[in-house]
């Protein structure tokens, strides 16, 4: 909501500055725009971190079921299920719209962020045409997780 207010104030300041020929109002407009962009970026980063934190926490229901059963067989079944559900990790370069396998030549010596392939797709990234992370990497991750 605050970003919307900043955008409206920025636009009003820009128009007023242009019409009255006051450069100070145009500069205020620019400052408000930068502040709004910073707030949007901070919110996106905070959401991404919260999503990763929630994904890293174990599911309480599964832990309760294993304790209630008190059986090692249940734990073995959960371990196999976890191996099958291990998400493929991919990397993205901030400011670009492709995701890659971590070994891709396109992202060597580049600052990257790790995501799961599903997260990358949800955030609008598309697979790299050089390393093709969508199919081959996920299958490799599933095989390595199993054994």
What are the residues whose beta carbons fall under 8 Å from the beta carbon of 118, sequence distance 6 or more? Answer: 87
**Interval 102-113: pLDDT, tens:** 888 888 888 888
**Interval 40-80: pLDDT, tens:** 888 888 888 877 777 665 555 555 555 555 544 444 445 54
d(CA 134, CA 99): 9
Which strand ranges, in their side-by-side order, compose the sheet holding 98-100?
113-116, 89-92, 98-100, 126-127
Domain ranges of the chain: 2-56, 88-147
Residue 120 has pLDDT above 50, yes or no: yes
Task: Name the fold adopted by 88-147.
Answer: DNA Methylphosphotriester Repair Domain (3.40.10)
Residue 17 has pLDDT above 80, yes or no: yes
């Amino acid at each position: 909501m605050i970003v919307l207010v900043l955008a409206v104030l920025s636009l009003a300041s820009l128009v007023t500055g242009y019409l009255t020929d006051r450069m100070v109002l145009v500069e205020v407009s620019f400052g408000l725009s930068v502040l709004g962009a910073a707030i949007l970026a901070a919110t996106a980063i905070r959401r991404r971190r919260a999503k990763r934190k929630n994904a890293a926490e174990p599911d309480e229901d599964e832990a309760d079921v294993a304790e209630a059963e008190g059986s090692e067989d249940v734990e073995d079944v959960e371990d196999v299920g976890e191996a099958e559900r291990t998400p493929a990790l991919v990397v993205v370069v901030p400011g670009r719209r492709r995701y890659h396998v971590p070994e891709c030549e396109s992202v060597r010596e580049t600052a990257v962020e790790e995501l799961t392939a599903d997260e990358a797709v949800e955030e609008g990234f598309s697979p790299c045409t050089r390393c093709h992370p969508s199919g081959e990497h996920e299958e490799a991750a599933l095989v390595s997780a199993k054994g």
